[in-house]
Chains A and B, each alone.
Chain A
């Protein structure tokens, strides 16, 4: 996953057939990282890079891939409703799936 962030720019959410998306609501890669870290996974894992991938999910708006299923933002990776989240602390309906994504 960290290598995917290094090469694709974003950690995957529901990666399938060599492509990061479609996102499942939240940036669930973060949960996987946190769970692995808390359970003591170390070895060759570069946790500084993993943290960078998580910070990017939390702070940067991903580019819109214009998916007709949700044209309001990226369905490929990241949290496309970040602009509302950073400004208001919640997601307005100008973004698709605003409630479920806020929960995730």
Chain B
């Protein structure tokens, strides 16, 4: 399995700006597993956005903060299950996040069901209503959904410091929660 590390650097993606809030570079690590054997080739581009490749080979590892890179996997089967985990700390942690949250024998159907159950039990069933108007119900539950979407609970996933306290962070801010108060016509139909 090739080892791909791509550093997401808002400071370099746009040479004109470091991203809206001028944050420094931050990295997402990932760990992917397939349920079928594969062969691979890897590539690295001439820049972040070009189609032009500098290398396309059997190289097992690439690391870059200035060029697009990736891997091409080939399989002998028609249907492949792919599981991917992420982490802000390391690839090892991405792998352990993956194994603990989406174990090898889990199906997509089961994952969807468990996610739905988690949202229902931890968020949507916390309020009750006698409202029957579908538009208003859509607004209520959509607002609850967006309120709980961010900031992300990154406890244990903070690369900046260790602490016994929880850590929450996201690419959007507290301020952006205003978006959970959306217009009713967004939910028609």
Q: Which of B21, B158, B165, B167 makes the CB contact (< 8 A) with A19? A: B21
**Given known A-B contacts A17-B19, A76-B22, A7 and B160 have beta carbons under 8 A apart:** yes
**Residue B34 at the chain A interface, CB threshold 8 Å:** no
Contact A67 B22, CB 8 Å, known A7-B160, A15-B169: yes
Residues from chain B with a CB closer than 8 A to the CB of A22 are 20-22
B165 and A17 contacting across the interface, CB-CB below 8 Å = no
CA of A65 to CA of B169 in the docked complex: distance in angstroms?
21
Contact A3 B21 (CB under 8 A): no
Provide the bound-state CA to CA distance between A22 and B172, in Å: 11
Q: Which single residue of chain A is at the shortest CB-CB distance from B154?
A: A18
Interface band, chain B: 20 to 34
Check: B170 CB closer than 8 A to any chain A CB. yes
**In angstroms, how far is the closest chain B Cβ from the Cβ of A44?**
8
Q: In this complex, what residue of B is CB-closest to A65?
A: B22
What is the CA–CA distance of A2 and B166 in the complex, to the nearest angstrom?
A: 10
- When C-beta atoms are compared, the residue in chain B nearest to A6 turns out to be B163
Residue of B at shortest CB range from A76? B22
- Inter-chain CA distance A32–B174, complex, in Å, is 10
Residues in B with CB closer than 8 Å to A67 are 22
Check if B24 is an interface residue, CB within 8 A of chain A.
yes
> Which A20-74 residues sit within 8 Å CB-CB of chain B?
21-22, 24, 28, 32, 44, 65, 67
Interface residues in chain A, defined as those with a beta carbon under 8 Å from any beta carbon in chain B:
2-3, 6-8, 14-19, 21-22, 24, 28, 32, 44, 65, 67, 75-76
B interface residues with partner A (beta carbon < 8 Å): 10, 19-24, 26, 88, 151, 158-161, 163, 165-167, 169-175
Beyond known contacts A15-B169, A16-B169, A21-B22: 11 more, CB 8 A cutoff: A3-B167, A8-B160, A14-B175, A15-B151, A15-B174, A16-B23, A18-B23, A19-B21, A22-B20, A22-B21, A76-B22
